Amino acid sequence: MVCGDLENNLDKMRLWNMEKYMRLAIEEAKKGIEEGQTPFGACIVKGGQVICCSHNTVWKDMDITAHAEINVLRKACKKLNTIDLSECEIYSTCEPCPMCFSACHWARISKIIHGARIEDAKQVGFNEIKISNELMKKLGGLKTEIIADFMREECLELFNLWSNKEDKKSY
């Protein structure tokens, strides 16, 4: 029985940590919204340590590729001085678009944890290609672990927060 309790406590601890990391991504997205950006945030974690977090800066940088995931991958590669992020996980407030999923693949991210779905972003006005990460994983024969809909409601709330802004801009 002690072993079962220990496993249960470890599972609770893992879940608590995952929630902590996703909350960091959510806070990054909120910062971006406050700065006139879009409602997307991401956080990279390696071995239980937060490497960096970022939000979308498409409008600030006038760079259509400046998605939260791309920004956080760039930061993590510079901070770790490598393009191999195989021991890292990414927490994203929304399912990565095909560009961002591909970048995660090329960086060898081991696990993608996301909240909202691509179709949710499309519903609030973003010009998304509705190809799920699971389909890209299947078509590419990839081993990347994907945890979908994690803290989905909290992540969907970011779309509401952004949608209520008078000066919001999608792409």
Q: For residue range 67-100, what is the model confidence (pLDDT) as tens digits?
A: 999 999 999 999 999 999 999 999 999 999 999 9
Pull the structure tokens for residue 30.
């909120």
Q: Report the candidate in 44, 152, 154 with the shortest Cα–Cα distance to residue 91.
A: 44
Q: For residue range 115-160, what is the model confidence (pLDDT) as tens digits?
A: 999 999 999 999 999 899 999 999 999 999 999 999 999 999 999 9
pLDDT band at residue 6 using 50, 70 and 90 as cut-offs: low
Distance CA 20, CA 112 (A): 15
Catalytic residue, chosen from 69, 89, 128, 157, is 69
Residue 2 predicted with pLDDT over 60: no
Q: Is 69 a catalytic residue?
A: yes
Q: Give the per-residue pLDDT at 3.
A: 56
Distances in Å between the Cα of 170 and the Cα atoms of 39, 65, 99, 125, 150 are: 10, 13, 17, 6, 24
Q: Residue 26, by phi and psi: left (phi above 0), alpha (psi -120 to 50) or beta?
A: alpha
**Full-model pTM:** 0.93
